[in-house]
Amino acid sequence: MAKAHGGSLTTHVLDTASGQPAAGLKIALYRVSGNSHRKIREAVTNADGRCDAPLLEGKSFQTGTYELIFFAGDYLRQGRKKLPDPLFLDQIPIRFGMAEEKHYHVPLLLSPYGYSTYRGS
């Protein structure tokens, strides 16, 4: 009998400067092993600031170390008139570990000059 794969990974990006979901923000997911990074997936947030599907689920989910890179600069340049060049925040890498086959949610709260993240539910 095949082993059930119960883990999943999702994200959600909110623009705290505008009070809106960060729609159209590109995200890349990498698996990290030592000094090696292997890109697994790219996605773009929808109108709700979420990806249309989990970044990992089912057989594609494996425990280990991962890195999400949020392409915040490309998003922040859209519709904002006065931003410095270079931007204070351009690409935001978040490295995290998933030790169990459970649901992991890595949200990002974003503004042009700061961000925060946490393990969500």
Lowest mean pLDDT across 9-18, 60-69, 70-79, 97-106:
70-79
Q: What is the mean pLDDT of residues 5-32?
A: 95
Give the model's confidence band at 6: pLDDT under 50 very low, under 70 low, under 90 confident, else very high: confident
Q: Tell me: the pLDDT tens digits for 79-118? A: 767 888 899 999 999 999 999 999 999 999 999 999 999 9
What percent of the chain stands above pLDDT 70? 95
pLDDT of residue 55: 98
pLDDT of residue 1: 37
**Backbone torsion region of residue 58, taken as left when φ is above 0, otherwise alpha when ψ lies between -120 and 50, otherwise beta:** left
pLDDT of residue 83: 86
Name 85's Cβ contacts closer than 8 Å, sequence gap at least 6: none
pLDDT of residue 5: 67
**Gyration radius (Cα) of the chain, Å:** 15
Q: What is the mean pLDDT of residues 36-42?
A: 96
Average pLDDT over the chain, rounded to whole?
A: 93
Q: Considering only CA atoms, which of 112, 119, 107 is closest in space to residue 14? A: 107
